[in-house]
Amino acid sequence: MTAKITIKKTFKGLLLGAAISASITGAAQAAEVEVLHWWTSGGEAKALGTLRETLQGQDITWKDMPVAGGGGSSAMTVLRSRVMSGNAPTAVQMMGFDILDWGEQGVTANLNDVAKAGNWDAVVPAALKRFAKTNGQWNSAPVNVHSTNWVWGNKAVLDKLGVAVPTSWDEFISAMQKAKAAGLTPLAHGGQAWQDATVFDGVLMATGGVDFYRKALVDLDETALTSQTMEQVFDRMKQLRGLVDDNFSGRDWNLASAMVINGQAAFQMMGDWAKGEFLNAGKVPGEDFVCFRTPGTQGTVTFNADQFAMFQVDEARHDAQMKMASAILSPEFQIAFNTVKGSVPARTDVSDEAFDACGKKAMADLKEAGANDTLIGSMAHGHASPAAVKNAFYDVITAHFNGDMSSKEAVKQLAASVKNAI
C-alpha cells in the first residue's frame, strides 16, 4: 500500500516537473502529439498513416516514437523510463491489463469530456471499456479489436497440394505434412517469445475449449494449469515445432507472413494484423490467401484491442491530445484504419460494408462470441492477466518450444512460475 502511494506521488511529481519545463517551450509544441507505438511493419505503418493524416488535417504535428515488438513488451519498457524521467509521451499504444495498471497510477489523462461528447459509453464494447476506464475515468481511446486464433494460408499452395481449409487439428497437421512432403515450409513462424505465446493462445483454445481457456489463463486455476489437457497443449506445441523451418529463431512476425505471401510456406498462425501484410502486398482474401480460425476454435474469439492511453501533458498540449482521442473513435477513422490494419472497429455501430471477406468474418465472429460468452482476452497480448503473469507464461512456453523440455516438465514449471507471479 505504502509503496503504491509513493510510486503514485513520484510519478505525479515528475510529471509536474515535466509540465513546468514543457510550458516554457509550450507554444512551439502546442499542436503536437508524441506517439509511442510498436507499429513498425509495412502494413502497420500504412494503417498508422491514416491516423497521422487525420491529425495533420487538423494542423496537429505528429512526433513518431516507434519501438518494435509485438505484444508491446519493449514499448512498455521504454514507456516506464520515459515516465520515470518525467517525460511521458502524449499517447501510447497499449493493451489490456497494462492500461489498467497505468490508470491506477494516476498519471493518465482524463478523457471523460471527449468520451461524453462522442457517446463512447454507448458505442464501445464492454470487453474494451473494462480496460479503458478506471474508477469511472476514461484513460484511453480504443482503436480496434484484433484476435489471435487465426491461421493464414497461401491459396495457390493449398490448391496445388489439393488441401481444403482444415477444420480439425488432425486435418491441419495432415495439411502441413503434405506441404512438408512437397518441400515447402509447413508453418511460417518467428521464434520470439510473444509469437510462441500467440500460437499457444490458439492451440490451448483448440485443445481445451473456452471453459478450459478461462480456467487456465484467466482464473489461473491450479487444477487446470497442471491438467492432462495442459500437457496435451504442450504436446501440440512440440508438434508444431517440428513443422517450422530451421531458420525460424528470432525472425520477425511480418517476415514469417512474407513467407506465406510469396508461397515459400503454407500457413502462419498469427493475429489478424497479419492480414495487413497480405493487403499491403496487394493480395486479396479468397483469391491469394485464406483466413480461418485455428482449427477447433470456430465460435470462440481470443481478442486483444489496441488503445491509445493518454498521459497527462501540460495545458499547451492538452487540446491536440483531446483532438487525437476524439478522432480515434470517429466512425470514419475506425473504417479507414481497420480496413488497412486487419482489425475490426472498436465500436459496435459500424457497418461491415467497407470490410473484405476476412474482415466481415472477424466482425461476425466477434458479435457471435460476444453474445455466447465465448469472447475471451488473449493471454499473449495482455488481455487475460497482468504483465507479471503474462511474462511467466511467455518464459515457460518459449523455453519448451525452443528446447528439450518435456511437456510434463513444462506443465510443472508453468504452474510454479504462475504461482510465483501472482
Judged by the rule CB under 6 A, the positions of this chain that interact with ligand BGC are: 38, 44, 70-72, 95, 146, 273, 304, 306, 381
DSSP annotation string for 125-161: -HHHHHHHEETTEE-EEE--BEES-EEEEEHHHHHHH
Nearer to ligand BGC, 234 or 273 (CB): 273
Nearer to ligand BGC, 224 or 261 (CB): 261
Nearer to ligand BGC, 11 or 308 (CB): 308
Note whether 256 and 188 are within 8 A (CB).
yes
The least distance separating ligand BGC from the CB of residue 256, rounded to whole angstroms, comes to 11
The least distance separating ligand BGC from the CB of residue 190, rounded to whole angstroms, comes to 11
Grid cell, residue 152, equals 493464414
The least distance separating ligand BGC from the CB of residue 127, rounded to whole angstroms, comes to 14
The least distance separating ligand BGC from the CB of residue 390, rounded to whole angstroms, comes to 11
Note whether 103 and 139 are within 8 A (CB).
yes
Nearer to ligand BGC, 274 or 290 (CB): 274
| Owner of C-alpha cell 488441401 | 163
The least distance separating ligand BGC from the CB of residue 62, rounded to whole angstroms, comes to 18
| Owner of C-alpha cell 474508477 | 135
The least distance separating ligand BGC from the CB of residue 149, rounded to whole angstroms, comes to 14
Q: Which residues, 6+ apart, have CB-to-CB distance to 165 below 8 Å?
A: 153, 158, 290, 292
Nearer to ligand BGC, 142 or 296 (CB): 142
Q: Name the nearest CA neighbour of 154 among 261, 255, 248.
A: 261
Q: What share of the chain is helix, strand, coil (3-state, %, to 5)?
A: 55, 15, 30
Nearer to ligand BGC, 189 or 381 (CB): 381
Nearer to ligand BGC, 35 or 316 (CB): 35
Long-range pairs, 287-291, Cβ under 8 A, ≥24: 287/155, 288/154, 288/155, 288/156, 288/261, 289/152, 289/153, 289/154, 289/155, 289/260, 289/261, 290/152, 290/153, 290/155, 290/158, 290/165, 291/150, 291/151, 291/152, 291/153, 291/357, 291/358, 291/361
Nearer to ligand BGC, 44 or 314 (CB): 44
Torsional class of 189: left (φ above 0), alpha (ψ -120 to 50), beta (otherwise): beta
The least distance separating ligand BGC from the CB of residue 147, rounded to whole angstroms, comes to 10
The least distance separating ligand BGC from the CB of residue 98, rounded to whole angstroms, comes to 11
17 phi, psi to nearest 5 deg: -60, -45
